[in-house]
Amino acid sequence: MHELSVAIRIVEIAEEELERHGGKRVVTTYLKVGPMSGVSKDALHFSYPVACEGTKLEGSLLSITEAAEGNELEVVALEMEWSME
Amino acid sequence: MVDGMIDALHAVRTTTRIAEVRQSVFKQNDLLARELRQQFLEAGVFVVGIVSSPGSGKTALLEKTLASMMSHCRVAALVGDLATENDAARLMSTGARVQQITTGTICHLDASMVTRALQDWDLRQVDILFIENVGNLVCPSSYDLGESLRAVALSVTEGEDKPLKYPTIFNTADIAVITKIDLAEAVGFDRDAVVRNIESVRPGMRIFDVSARTGAGMSQWIEYLRKASKS
C-alpha cells in the first residue's frame, strides 16, 4: 500500500500548481491512472483525504479516470477556487 | 441572518476554474532516478536492483552472491527495510560495503532514499552495487531507482501464480530468479507452471534457478551478473 505516499505527492504537486496559479484552494483533483501504474484506485480514494488534511486541498474531491493502457499516473487538472477581489 | 449574508458575499467573491496540470506523479522520482543512472554510468558501477515478497530469500541470495563475488570484483549493497539493521549486519559479514536504508513506514525504496544513502560513497570504488528493495511485490514497481538491471526473486514456496497476481512488478524487472530451489521437491513446486506464468506476463524473461543454501545454480547467476556488468 504505497498509495499514501502517492497521495502525499499528489497534494504536493497540487499545492505547487495552486500557488503558481494564485488560487485559494483546490476543489477537485483530476487524476488519470493507467492499469500498469501499480496504484489501486480504491486505496488512493482512501488515502487522499488523509493526505489533504491541513492543506489547501482539505475537503476536495478526487476524480479518477482509468486509462485503457500504460503505466501513467498523472495529475491531469485541478479545479481551483479563486478569490475575485 | 448575518452569517447568511457573509456566505452570500463569500459566494460572490470566489469563483472556480479548472487549470490544466498534466504532471506525472512519479516525475520527481523519475528525474532523480535518471540522475542516479547517469552517476552510476559515469562512475562505471553496475547496479542490480532486487525485488521480491518478504521471505523469498533476497538477503540469503545476496549474502551468497556478495561472498562469491568478493574475490574478483568490488561489490557493495544497499538494503531496504522498514525497521532494523539486521540485514545490513548479516551482509557485512561477507566483507562487502553494506548500508541499510530504513524506510520507517514506507513500503518501498525511492530514488531520493538511494541518493541520500549514497551521498558519502565514492562510487568509483564499486564495480557492482546491489540494491535490495523492501520485501513487497506491489509498491516498488512504481519507483525507478536508476538500476542497470532489476531482478525479481520468487521462492518455490510461494505459489506458481505469483507472476499472474503481480504482473506489474514482473513487468518492471529484467530477469527472474527462482530461489530455494533445494525445497522444490518437498513443496511440490511446478516449475513449468511458473515459467508459463512468467512468460505470459513478461515474454522472453530470463529465469535463473538458485539455492543460496546448497549453492545450486549460483554459478550461472554469478556468471550472468559478471558478464552483464562488463557489457
Under an 8 A CB cutoff, do B16 and A85 touch? no
User: Cα–Cα–Cα angle for B172, B61, B130, nearest 5°?
Assistant: 55
Among chain A residues, CA nearest to B22 = A76
Mind listing the pLDDT tens digit for each residue in B87-132?
889 999 999 999 999 988 888 999 999 999 999 999 999 999 999 9
Is residue B215 in some structural domain? Answer: yes
**Domain containing residue A69: CATH number:** 3.30.2320.50
Residue at B218 is within a domain? yes
- Over the stretch B51-96, which tens digit does the pLDDT of each residue have? 999 999 999 999 999 999 999 899 999 999 888 888 889 999 999 9
Residue B18 has pLDDT above 90, yes or no: yes
Q: Does some domain include residue B86? A: yes
Containing structural domain, residue B147: 43-230
Q: Please give the single-letter amino acid code of residue B176.
A: A
Mean pLDDT of A12-39: 94
User: What is the grid cell recorded at A56?
Assistant: 489547501
Query: Is B128:B73 a contact under the CB 8 Å cutoff?
Result: yes
Residue B190 lies in a domain: yes
B189 — phi, psi (to 5°)? -65, 130
Q: Which residue has the cell 522520482?
A: B29
Look at residue B9 and tell me if it is in a domain: no
What ipTM goes with this model?
A: 0.88
Q: Using alpha carbons only, give the angle A8, A11, A14 rounded to the nearest 5 degrees.
A: 155
CATH code where residue B83 lies: 3.40.50.300
What is the total count of domains within chain A? 1
User: Which domain covers residue A50, as residue numbers?
Assistant: 3-81
Residue B30 covered by a domain:
no
A15–chain B Cβ distance below 8 A for any pair: no
Number of domains in chain B: 1
* pLDDT tens-digit readout, B164-222: 999 999 999 999 999 999 999 999 999 999 999 999 999 999 999 999 999 999 999 99
| B4 domain-assigned | no
Contact A77 B13 (CB under 8 A): no
Whether residue B171 lies inside any domain: the answer is yes
CB B56 within 8 A of CB B136: no
Q: B-chain residues within 8 Å CB-CB of A21? A: 19
